[in-house]
Amino acid sequence: MFGQPQTFDTTTLDLIRHGEPEGGVRYRGSVDDPLCHRGWEQLRNSTSQSGCRWNAVFSSPMLRCHAFASALSQQQQIPLTVIDGLRELCFGTLEGLTPEQAWQQYPELLTNLWQDPAGHTPPEGEPYSDFLARVSESLDQVITAAKNQHVLLVVHGGVIRAALTYLLNIQPSDTFCFEVPYAGMTRLKIYTDQAGRRNTALTFANRYQG
């Protein structure tokens, strides 16, 4: 696709968002709620629909990701690596609020975040530049470790959007054009030449959903 195929290492990343956590839809970057029963079913359905047997699984340390990643790694007998940098963005004072509560209390902040997430930070929250830097570093770690393999990343909606920003070289605000539902799976193929230069192709977004 980007030149003579034999000159490229190809790594396939399947990024799946965790299923629904206990407590429903809330801003929960740092709130460590576990998956509810429906969340487990969403992830099982999505991964089974894909029909994939991955070479390895990588996960955020948060319970809503790590618990399923651990179960899947045991089921498929593949290695699991937990990477702290794949945690969700910390939303500061928005943490724990439902979308309705957040819009009632912080309408201007949320409008600004949707229009320019990189330029606005919730009070006591994590700057987007710091978040993108740690996610990008974590993705580099995965790509290096998984050269020429097909791997699964069990992560968060914000992490998937950050991955699109970093690997496809698009603006953070543009990623809001992508729906990222619970247990939605998105595939990226990373082509790396002998000089270490990369090109990335988006194979599909949300083809498999729970």
pLDDT in tens, 128-149: 999 999 999 999 999 999 999 9
Percent of the chain surpassing pLDDT 70? 97
pLDDT over threshold 60, residue 3: no
Instruction: State the chain's mean pLDDT as an integer.
Output: 94
Give dist(CA 115, CA 175) in Å, integer: 11
| Sheet of 56-59, strands arranged across | 80-82, 56-59, 150-155, 9-17, 185-192, 198-208
Nearest 5°: the CA angle 61, 154, 26 is: 75
At 196, the pLDDT band (50, 70, 90 cuts) reads: confident
The greatest distance separating any two alpha carbons of the chain, rounded to the nearest whole angstrom, comes to: 55
From residue 56, give the alpha-carbon distance in Å to each of 10, 153, 169.
15, 9, 26
At 6, the pLDDT band (50, 70, 90 cuts) reads: low
pLDDT over threshold 90, residue 106: yes
Percent of the chain surpassing pLDDT 90? 92
N- to C-terminal Cα separation, the chain: 31
pLDDT score recorded for residue 208: 81
| Three-class HEC string of the chain | CCCCHHHCEEEEEEEEECCCECCCCCCCCCCCCCECHHHHHHHHHHHHHHCCCCCEEEECCCHHHHHHHHHHHHHHCCCEEECHHHCCCCCHHHCCCCHHHHHHHCHHHHHHHHHCHHHCCCCCCCCHHHHHHHHHHHHHHHHHHCCCCEEEEEECHHHHHHHHHHHHCCCHHHHHHCCCCCCCEEEEEEEECCCCCEEEEEEEEEEECC
pLDDT over threshold 70, residue 204: yes
What are the pLDDT digits (tens) for 8-46? 899 999 999 999 999 999 999 999 999 999 999 999 999
Q: How many CB atoms lie within 10 A of CB 1?
A: 9
Q: Is 123 exposed, middle or buried (0-12, 13-18, 19+ CB in 10 A)?
A: exposed
Give dist(CA 35, CA 200) in Å, integer: 31
At 5, the pLDDT band (50, 70, 90 cuts) reads: low
